[in-house]
């Protein structure tokens, strides 16, 4: 058999990237068939003989051995080899994976002129719209699909100004109004190089893509930006954007603005500018051209609150208890700990009619006789960090279950364990179900149990420090009647605490 025939034979072996039992047997049969084919080709030359083997036979035997090694490696390590060979995803693949999602939501923390501002961004990729809610309650909506217009609400003048979409979008990128599009526009320029590497960020492995752009052609507060540095972070498994870091500097290298982006992918977002707190009484000032196409064509009106009906969203109003950290601040050091946020929690949007449906509802527990307090205190509406408000359960893994008495659409769960001190509770798992035993059809909406001490599976959510704001968990409208919350003590002790649990939803339709 000629060498090229052997290479063609080995190249024809079908190798799966995820070997299983059937796959191993199939590879074994292919290996045996390879040996048999080679044996037929070289005939009795492979049979034992006292004579010295010829160089040709030795070369063929070596090739058969190589083929066996290839097959064995395919069985036991193909997945890792193929993944390594394929390399990390390209920037274009990250962009495509991100834009395949229905919605992108980003919390943007900007440091500028010694102050910290927080914005929220929503990208509706299917409708090609971008929404921005600024810290001063101003709102910008960019319609970069067929409409090609911009809506700007100013709380100072209480008016919505409608104008034609500007040619430059986010960070001065041409016709790019989302973060991933802006980065891609700059990256496509001949004078820009995209650096790419992998590192750990906040306890997990991420892919980094960075560009350094000179003279992006924008200003901040009347000051010219001479250098823009953008860094995208992507999940290597999903290939989706998970965060970003943006710096804008002047010609002297001084920092004009620094932004940190934290990205998530909710199932829904604002349907119009009114969903972001714009009052219905706000005036609409249309500055677009009055004739588009034929002279008789009227400008397209923006949807009114009446047009939107039940799809309208509103910021969730959560009455917070007083911040009462006492004593010497603890040095909390543990892996996978969420970085504390600066400033108040950004607005969280929920449908109209959403209320705390857990208030006064019955509570059950794996520890039916708490060491301190009663189970009813967990849903009594008292969130203050006082001795008369806290419920203390026994040590180890414990859980509490709230019965909402009927099925609800649940949009958020807010948990206060014990915010008198900056505790970090271990093994926090939150589940929703219609089964009172939570033995079937269970949806896990939060899981920070990295060690699987609860037996519910290893979690990927980060641990967090207790504050008076509580932990808000986005449940995305999941329907259910029973809410169960697990914990396994805290970093400074083995017992478990609850002050209050609020469940925001509305009756299921």
354/443 same-domain check: yes
pTM of the model: 0.53
161/77 same-domain check: no
Counted residue by residue, the chain has a size of: 509
Is 315 part of any domain? no
Q: How far apart are CA 347 and CA 224, in angstroms?
A: 31
Please write the tens of the pLDDT for every residue from 326-340: 544 555 678 889 888
194/60 same-domain check: no
278 φ, ψ (degrees, to nearest 5): -70, 125
Is 282 part of any domain? yes
44/125 same-domain check: no
> pLDDT value at position 246?
95
Residue 179 near residue 261, CB atoms below 8 Å: yes
380/483 same-domain check: yes
**59, 86, 113 - which closes a domain:** 86
> pLDDT value at position 296?
39
Half-sphere exposure of 258 toward its Cβ, with a 13 Å CA cutoff?
8
Angle made by CA atoms 425, 428, 434, in degrees to the nearest 5: 150
From the CB of residue 342, how many other CB atoms can be counted at a distance below 10 Å? 10
Q: How far apart are CA 406 and CA 28, in angstroms?
A: 56
C-alpha torsion angle, residues 203, 205, 209, 210 (rounded to 10)? 30
Residue 106 near residue 113, CB atoms below 8 Å: no
Is 314 part of any domain? no
Report the DSSP beta bridge partners of residue 409: 479, 506
Is 73 part of any domain? yes
101/73 same-domain check: no
Expressed as residue numbers, the domain containing 70 is: 3-86
Please classify residue 54 by burial: count the beta carbons closer than 10 Å to its beta carbon, then call 0-12 exposed, 13-18 middle and 19+ buried.
exposed
265/384 same-domain check: no
Instruction: Give which of 464, 386, 101 is closest to 266, Cα–Cα.
Output: 101
Is 56 part of any domain? yes
> pLDDT value at position 302?
53
- Mean pLDDT, rounded, for 16-42: 53
Q: How far apart are CA 285 and CA 306, in angstroms?
A: 19
482 φ, ψ (degrees, to nearest 5): -110, 135
Q: How far apart are the first and last CA of the chain?
A: 72
**47, 66, 86 - which closes a domain:** 86
199/263 same-domain check: yes
129/218 same-domain check: yes
Is 18 part of any domain? yes
Which long-range contacts does 376-379 make (Cβ < 8 Å, 24+ apart)? 377/498, 377/499, 378/402, 378/498, 378/499, 378/500, 378/501, 379/500, 379/501
107/175 same-domain check: yes
Half-sphere exposure of 399 toward its Cβ, with a 13 Å CA cutoff?
19
Please write the tens of the pLDDT for every residue from 351-361: 888 999 999 99
Please write the tens of the pLDDT for every residue from 206-219: 999 999 988 887 88
Instruction: Give which of 431, 412, 418 is closest to 472, Cα–Cα.
Output: 412
From the CB of residue 196, how many other CB atoms can be counted at a distance below 10 Å? 15
**273, 292, 311 - which closes a domain:** 292
Look-up of token digits 């899981």: 447
The overall average pLDDT reported for the chain is 81
Q: How far apart are CA 64 and CA 486, in angstroms?
A: 57
257/278 same-domain check: yes
Residue 218 makes CB contacts below 8 A (sequence gap 6+) with 168, 171, 172, 225, 228, 248
Q: How far apart are CA 276 and CA 134, in angstroms?
A: 10
436/490 same-domain check: yes
Please write the tens of the pLDDT for every residue from 339-352: 887 778 888 888 88
The CATH number linked to 405 is: 2.60.120.260
Please write the tens of the pLDDT for every residue from 471-509: 999 998 899 999 999 999 998 899 999 999 999 999 987
- Name the pLDDT band for 256 (thresholds 50, 70, 90): very high
The CATH number linked to 133 is: 2.50.20.10
For strand 139-143 and strand 349-351, is the pairing parallel, antiparallel, or unpaired? unpaired
Structural domains of the chain, count = 3
DSSP H helices in 235-333: 305-308
Is 397 part of any domain? yes
> pLDDT value at position 298?
43
């Amino acid at each position: 058999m000629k060498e090229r025939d052997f290479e063609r034979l080995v190249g024809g072996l079908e190798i799966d990237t995820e070997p299983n039992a059937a796959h191993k047997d199939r590879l074994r049969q292919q290996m045996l068939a390879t040996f048999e084919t080679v044996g037929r080709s070289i005939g009795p030359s492979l049979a034992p003989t006292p004579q010295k083997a010829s160089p040709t036979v030795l070369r063929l035997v070596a090739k058969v051995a190589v083929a066996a090694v290839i097959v064995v490696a395919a069985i036991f390590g193909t997945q890792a080899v193929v993944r390594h060979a394929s390399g990390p995803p390209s920037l274009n693949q990250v962009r495509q994976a991100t834009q395949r999602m229905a919605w992108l939501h980003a919390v943007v923390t900007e440091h500028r002129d010694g102050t910290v501002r927080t914005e929220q961004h929503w990208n509706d990729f299917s409708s090609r719209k971008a929404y921005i809610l600024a810290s001063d309650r101003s709102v910008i909506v960019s319609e970069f699909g067929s409409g090609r217009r911009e809506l700007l609400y100013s709380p100072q003048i209480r008016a919505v100004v409608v104008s034609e979409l500007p040619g430059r979008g986010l960070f001065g990128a041409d016709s790019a109004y989302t973060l991933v599009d802006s980065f891609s526009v700059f990256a496509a320029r001949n004078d820009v190089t995209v650096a790419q590497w992998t590192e750990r960020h906040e306890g997990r492995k991420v892919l980094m893509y960075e560009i350094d752009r000179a003279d992006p052609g924008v200003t901040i507060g009347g000051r010219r930006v001479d250098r823009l540095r953008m860094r995208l972070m992507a999940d290597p498994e999903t290939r989706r954007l998970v965060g970003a870091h943006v710096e804008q500097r002047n010609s002297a290298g001084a920092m004009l603005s620094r932004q940190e982006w934290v990205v998530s992918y909710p199932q829904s977002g604002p349907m119009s500018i009114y969903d972001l707190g714009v009052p219905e009484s706000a005036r609409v000032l249309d500055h677009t051209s009055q004739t588009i196409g034929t002279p008789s064509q009227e400008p397209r009106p923006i949807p009114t609150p009446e047009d939107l009906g039940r799809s309208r969203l509103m910021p969730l109003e959560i009455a917070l208890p007083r911040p009462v950290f006492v004593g010497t601040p603890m040095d909390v050091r543990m892996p996978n700990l969420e970085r504390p946020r600066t400033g108040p929690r950004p607005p969280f949007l929920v449908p109209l009619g959403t209320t705390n449906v857990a208030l006064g509802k019955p509570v059950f527990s794996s520890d039916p006789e708490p060491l301190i307090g009663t189970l009813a205190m967990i849903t009594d509406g008292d969130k203050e960090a006082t001795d008369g408000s806290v419920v203390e359960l026994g040590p180890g893994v414990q859980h509490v279950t709230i019965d909402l008495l009927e099925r609800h659409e649940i949009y958020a769960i807010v948990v206060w364990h014990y915010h008198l001190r900056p505790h970090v509770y271990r093994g926090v798992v939150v589940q929703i179900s219609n089964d009172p035993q939570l033995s079937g059809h269970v949806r896990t909406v939060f899981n920070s149990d990295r060690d699987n001490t609860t037996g519910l599976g290893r979690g990927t959510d980060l641990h967090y420090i207790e504050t008076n704001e509580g932990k808000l968990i986005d449940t995305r409208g999941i329907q259910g009647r029973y809410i169960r919350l697990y914990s396994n003590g805290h970093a400074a002790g083995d017992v478990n605490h609850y002050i209050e649990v609020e469940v925001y939803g509305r009756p299921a339709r």
